[in-house]
Structure 1
């Protein structure tokens, strides 16, 4: 799913409420309630994924986010996976996947020690 168009992303994510889109490292970071749940890099959308859901993304042809470092190594961030391209054609399913990404971000935040959490209690 190519989503370099910030206006389109804002429109598709509006029903979630409280979403902020920020420029980051030549791309975009997607935040809700202070937690990053997605990113756009090289015009590709990646969503935060709970460990038990990586198989779902892999079955859709996704792969974890990775980037090259200065020394030529590739670094993979396994908690963000490429979103299926088909989501751009189905706003309801897109929102369902975005909600799961938000839930994954919240779960990851809750798993951190109290002093390192970013968001307040969700409830």
Structure 2
């Protein structure tokens, strides 16, 4: 089992006002869930938050990169963006950015549920 870092434990404490925060080890990093919605990735002690059409522009405006990884020589990018550095020093800003990721995860979950309902 992967060892939790001090950074991960600190984040879980800081994000607690959002709801029940749970970390799950995945692919060498961590997935963060809030009330069972997958809203963040931690890789090498860097937090990436879920983005969608409603919050992506805010991440782009901050100039933060999306989460990416390489498989078989090809770089894959996911709809998760790095937390702006300034938010690490400001609990209010951290919660604001995390809430936008959580809300994007909730919207994705609602959209996924809608697609899975097939009328026959």
Q: Into which bin does the TM-score normalised by the smaller protein fall?
A: 0.7 to 0.9
* Matched residue, 1:15: 17
Deviation at 1:41, TM superposition (A): 1.0
1:61 matched to 2:70: no
TM-score after normalising by structure 2 = 0.84
- For the 8 Å contact 1:19–1:33, the answer to whether it is kept is yes
Give the C-alpha shift of residue 99 in structure 1.
1.1
CA contact (8 A) 2:55 2:104 kept: no
> Aligned runs of 1:72-87 on 2, under 5 Å?
72-77=73-78, 79-87=79-87
What secondary structure, in the 3-state scheme, does the structure 1 residue paired with 2:94 have?
helix
Flag structure 2 segments of 5+ consecutive residues without an equivalent: none
Please tell me whether the aligned partners of residues 4 and 43 of structure 1 are also in contact (alpha carbons under 8 angstroms).
no
Distance 1:97 1:116 in 2: 29
Higher relative contact order (CA 8 A, sep 6+): 1
Report how many residues are paired. Answer: 113
RMSD: 2.0
Equivalent positions of 1:1-123 (< 5 A) are 5-69=7-71, 71-77=72-78, 79-114=79-114, 116=116
Rounded to whole Å, the distance in 2 between the matches of 1:29 and 1:10 is 11
